[in-house]
Structures are given as C-alpha cells and as structure tokens.
Amino acid sequence: MKRSVVAALVAGAWLVGCGGSGSLPIGANDPPGGPGVLPGDPVNPSPEEPNVRQSLWPLTTGSSWTYRITDPVRGTFDKTVEVLGLENVPETATKATAMRSTQPHLEELSWQVELDNGMVVRLREEDRKGGALARVTTWSPATVKSLARPQALNWSTASTIRELTRLDDGSQEEKERTYTWRVVAVNETVTVPAGTFTNALKVLRDRPDKDGKERIYWLVPGVGKVKEDGERLEELSSYTIQK
C-alpha cells in the first residue's frame, strides 16, 4: 500500500497543528564530515531517496539503535532496535517497514509506515517470549508511533483508535484508546551515553483517559529517538544510520 493510501485511511483521526523545521545533531559518534553528516549522504537527495539527515525516525534498512533501559521493576539492561526492511504485514496485503526490538525478556516485531504528513504509524506488533509468539496487537486506524518530520513548538495531534490484542491462548481483547501528541520544546540539548545532541525535539505523548501514562520523547534529526522517559527511562548508547 502506498503512503498516500495509508494516509487516507488514518487522515480522519488526526487534529494536526502547524509545521516546523529542525536542524542537525552533534553526537558522540558522528561520522567523518561533521555533525550529523552521513557518509555519502547527498546535500540535496532526490525525491526517491529518504532525507535521512533530517528524519526524526529513520526507517532505512540496516539502521540500528541500542538503548540503556532503567526499569523500576526489571532494573538496568540493554535494548536493541533494528530496521529489517520493507515486508508484507502478516495477514494483509499491505507493505510496511519491519522493525525488530530485542531485550532480555522480550522480542518485538512491528510494522511501521511514514505518512506524507510526517507522522509514523504502527500497523501491527508481535511480542515473542522465549521464541514463542505471545501476543499480537493491531490498531484501527493505525496508531501513531512517532514523528519523522520536525514540527514547531505547540504542534499537536490527537487520535482515537480501536486496539485489538490476541493472546497465545486464543483469547482476545478490544479496547478504545485516545492518544495526544504535542511538541513541548524545540532546540533542546540532551546528553545520553551516545553523546550530547543539540536541537532535539521534545514530544509529549499522553493518554487523557488514564493517569501515569505520559511519555516524553527526545527526537534528533538524522538519529531518531535519543531518550524516552515515562514508565521507564531509555537512553541511546550507540547507533548506526544507513542511507
């Protein structure tokens, strides 16, 4: 399914504010050529190529991120996220970018699409424990996962979705959820194990129906998520971004 088709399916759910622009990070493991410059990345990429240097959520095959997780229950451990590439979403004819997240107790596979409006939506997620499929979650319409395009201060969007969860015992549960996203700061400097990044976009994701479910994300052009705080703390420790 083309991005424009997916966008049409979810367009009715968004209340979108004004747009903005971002600038490049200065990271500890920036490649040769200067802050935020990717080897071989053209200054003016063609329309067919993703603008990796400016994307807040690079979905390029082979890109990967390792985060140090501080969890109040499970303690401290690492999580690795990698982009597998374009695949068919299971049980559908839709194509989306597959991503794998690996941590000691859980492996997650998700399928994501960047829309024309600069948001990234998640169509499906599979959770595996000990190699066995434990849970499958889908959303209608597809739920916002992150932003790929920098936005201005106070930009916001809201959506109400139906979330269907199927467990390995055959049971399933469907819930209605409302999420709001808002840019609460721009041009932030954030320091994590991977280095110090400038001009980070700080985004708040909230669930108005439930207290204690707020999450804050720091997103950096050309790198992606460098920090997340909420139910647990995630801090970027290393990354590789492919063109």
DSSP 29: T
User: Which residues constitute the domain of residue 43?
Assistant: 3-240
Amino acid in the structure at residue 203: V
Determine if residue 221 is left, alpha or beta; phi over 0 gives left, psi from -120 to 50 gives alpha, anything else beta. beta
CATH label of the domain that carries residue 207: 2.40.360
DSSP-H helix ranges across 31-115 = none
- Stretch among 21-35, 79-93, 143-157 having the lowest mean pLDDT: 21-35
Q: Which helix (H) or strand (E) holds 111?
A: strand 106-114
| C-alpha gyration radius of the chain | 17
∠ CA(64), CA(115), CA(2), 5° rounding?
100
Q: Mapped to the 3 state alphabet, what secondary structure does 190-238 carry?
A: EEECCEEEEEEEEEEEECCCCCCCCEEEEEECCCEEEEEECCCEEEEEE
Q: Which helix (H) or strand (E) holds 6?
A: helix 3-10
Give the burial string for 178-208 (b: 16+ CB within 10 Å, else e): ebbbbbeebebebebebbebbbbbbbbbbee
The whole-angstrom separation of Cα 187 and Cα 192 is 16
Tell me the per-residue pLDDT of 178-221, one tens digit each, with 9 for 90 and over. 999 999 999 999 999 999 999 999 999 998 877 778 999 999 99
What's the total number of domains in the chain?
1
Q: Alpha-carbon torsion 104, 108, 114, 120, what sign?
A: negative
Residue closest to 23 by CA, chosen among 189, 174, 158, 136: 189
Q: Is the CB of residue 142 less than 8 Å from the CB of residue 123?
A: yes
Token pair 């207290």 is at which residue? 211
Is the pLDDT at 28 greater than 80, yes or no?
Answer: no
Report pLDDT for 16.
37
Report pLDDT for 208.
83
When pLDDT is cut at 50, 70 and 90, the band that residue 136 belongs to is very high
The whole-angstrom separation of Cα 33 and Cα 23 is 16
- Stretch among 62-66, 204-208, 238-242 having the lowest mean pLDDT: 204-208
Q: Which helix (H) or strand (E) holds 3?
A: helix 3-10
